[in-house]
Chains A and B, each alone.
Chain A
Amino acid sequence: EIVMTQSPATLSVSPGERATLSCRASQSISSDLAWYQQKPGQAPRLLIYGASTRATGIPARFSGSGSGTEFTLTISSLQSEDFAVYYCQQYNNWWTFGQGTKVEIK
């Protein structure tokens, strides 16, 4: 099983600041990585697939990068609606998720 490790567990950021979230795979997954956003009481929502392609309707302030085992989700200027939990998911070999990064208001 491919293990996905996200860091940090919690990220405290002020509105308007930049947030950088990391995700590491236990073995190479090429670019087979997606990012999801989950707000309290809601289902996950697809943000990024193929490590760097924004899903339909996702604002340009969200960007993804990386390949192999190291990946990054960047939110360039945090808006109030961006405070949530973010999960990475590999789909190279079945499916596994990271444990999540909570982005909270500083």
Chain B
Amino acid sequence: EVRLVESGGGLIQPGGSLRLSCAASGFTVSSNYMSWVRQAPGKGLEWVSVIYSGGNTYYADSVKGRFTISRDNSKNTLYLQMNSLRAEDTAMYYCAGVTSGNWFDPWGQGTLVTVSS
């Protein structure tokens, strides 16, 4: 069974840092494109970042320079390092596999990040 499990979310003050993890089973992170997608409370979905199987990384303008996507192949885990957090970064963060056709599947269950003083 393919499973993605996010962790690392929580309450953090503005300007702080947080690292999210996405542990995969039945699915090889290093062989696939992997993305982070976020959803602010009561709002729609926003693509955040992608890491390609070759290692190239790309970011939405809203997080460029503050967030870093990475992976640990030995742990089959995807990460999102989030620095200089702002109130507008408050959201549920989902990791998702990007298929060869570029749509997203599978998805994890999400981890909630709240940026507030």
Contacts and interface: CB of A to CB of B under 8 A. Distances in A.
A43 B104 contact: no
8 contacts: A34-B104, A36-B104, A43-B108, A46-B105, A49-B99, A49-B105, A87-B45, A99-B44
A99 B47 CA distance: 13
- Sorting the interface of chain B by its residue count into under 10, 10 to 19, 20 to 34 or 35 or more gives 10 to 19
A45 interface: yes
Majority-rule SS of A interface residues: loop
A44 B58 CA distance: 22
A55 B106 CA distance: 11
Interface residues of A, number: 21
Given A46-B105, A89-B45, A94-B58, 18 more contacts: A34-B103, A34-B104, A36-B45, A36-B104, A43-B108, A44-B45, A44-B94, A44-B104, A46-B103, A46-B104, A55-B105, A87-B44, A91-B102, A97-B44, A97-B45, A97-B46, A98-B44, A100-B44
